[in-house]
Structure 1
């Protein structure tokens, strides 16, 4: 698969179709989007990538990593994939990256989808990040990975998908980005604050907020909706990783919005 500037990426779907860039959350892996790829790649050219410092991408990070650096990496991938402009779909950290990119290079972003994202630090998710890092430092990678579903999925979904989560656990441990890398990525996310600049983001933005998200409160999406000039706020269930736990509902909402069928604005 191709690489650009140390970044691993993949392209799926018809090459002459509208381009979608998918950016995952804290884990940073392109594989996060596997449940959504089949539906999205039917009518779109979908580009997924591993964030710098994670997965198959270069594991070294710049000093004092910022979300703006992560947004610049998206431009690197777009240039290498010969994508002049695209719609960007970002989950959590990926949503922050998309918002940053809409400020950094507005002509490259046609539309933005931000799933359980935020524009400024929130006390609840800061507490969650602190607890997860403390678990990592005190108990190691295995305990950190084993606890991850508690933050990502509703308890009913985790129970019903226990075997799947058990199988994924070994893979996540094997490809863990490292303690220092994870700390740097969390620090960048906690420092991200563009709330005062939301009015500058002119592209249409679909905000998807899971009411049962245990990590990022829906109020973060509500604050985004109030600050963005052109926002559509849709609510789901399915926890923080609602695009996985409720993949069919997510794909329907996303397809309708990309086709222009969701126009009711902020709910």
Structure 2
């Protein structure tokens, strides 16, 4: 049960129901799913956890080498599923966790039976024939700022990531979550997140997949959602009437409705 302790796993919901894993994004923790839980706990066995280096995970388990790639985080997901004997789970991943879920499903197909990608991006840097939303220089400057002044970077970037300028409390919550993360561990996760290229991994997805994009997202523009949808055979793309990169926080009703409709279709 090392994975349960290491990743601060929390179990809630219906223990007899199908398993749903909720996986947070960079700089966040499992608390960010609190507005999603009411829509799931009656019918589903819900598994929440914190990636190592985030939330209340075990900081002594952090390894810069292991977490220098998304595969390290995906191995943690698989080990959580093994420790709980979870099979055919629905993996709901926010942002970079969407790609971690893709890798986990490829590593252990018996453990992950479906994917829900919330504001996914397989590559943040623009490439020939691909718009990720950022130039290589943009990402270099972002990472340099994070390296030199993590708290200042958090204060500046959280409102941009969250969007919804008319609701500053959302950006403040995200900033506080960033600031609660150990800066050295956050730097590793940030480089892994923003420099990864998971586009080829999408082609190997063979499970039912829901792609949720926002109508206006500065971090994952709609071209990215369309790319992910095209790359995954048989996937479903839903554009939420939501702004920002965290619709499960800023538009929980629309997000929950899309997720629960997808889950109902699987049963």
Q: Normalised by the shorter chain, which TM-score bucket?
A: 0.7 to 0.9
- Distance in 1, matches of 2:173 and 2:111, equals 38
Determine whether 1:115 maps to 2:118. Answer: yes
Alignment of 1:182-193 (within 5 A): 182-193=186-197
Alignment of 1:47-196 (within 5 A): 47-59=47-59, 60-63=62-65, 65-123=68-126, 124-125=133-134, 129-141=139-151, 143-155=152-164, 158-162=165-169, 165-166=171-172, 169-170=175-176, 172-173=178-179, 175-178=180-183, 180-196=184-200
Deviations for 1:131-176, whole angstroms, at most 9, x for unmatched residues?
44333344441x2332233222233xx43343x6546755653x22
- Distance in 2, matches of 1:122 and 1:81, equals 36
Range 13-22 or range 95-104, more displaced: 95-104
Alignment match, 2:256: 251
How far 1:58 moved relative to its partner? 2.4
Range 113-122 or range 216-225, more displaced: 113-122
How far 1:212 moved relative to its partner? 0.8
Aligned pairs, number: 254
Inter-CA distance 239–128: structure 2 relative to 1 (3 Å threshold): farther
Q: Secondary structure at the match of 1:4?
A: helix
Q: Secondary structure at the match of 1:41?
A: coil
User: Structure 1: where are the runs of 5+ without partners?
Assistant: 262-267
User: Structure 2: where are the runs of 5+ without partners?
Assistant: 127-132
Determine whether 1:241 maps to 2:243. Answer: no
How far 1:26 moved relative to its partner? 0.5
Deviations for 1:204-235, whole angstroms, at most 9, x for unmatched residues?
11001112111122211211111111200000
TM-score (norm 1): 0.85
Inter-CA distance 95–177: structure 2 relative to 1 (3 Å threshold): same
Q: 8 Å contact 1:5–1:76 — kept in the other structure? A: no
Cα RMSD of the aligned pairs, angstroms, is 2.4
How far 1:243 moved relative to its partner? 1.4
Alignment match, 1:17: 17
Inter-CA distance 72–183: structure 2 relative to 1 (3 Å threshold): same
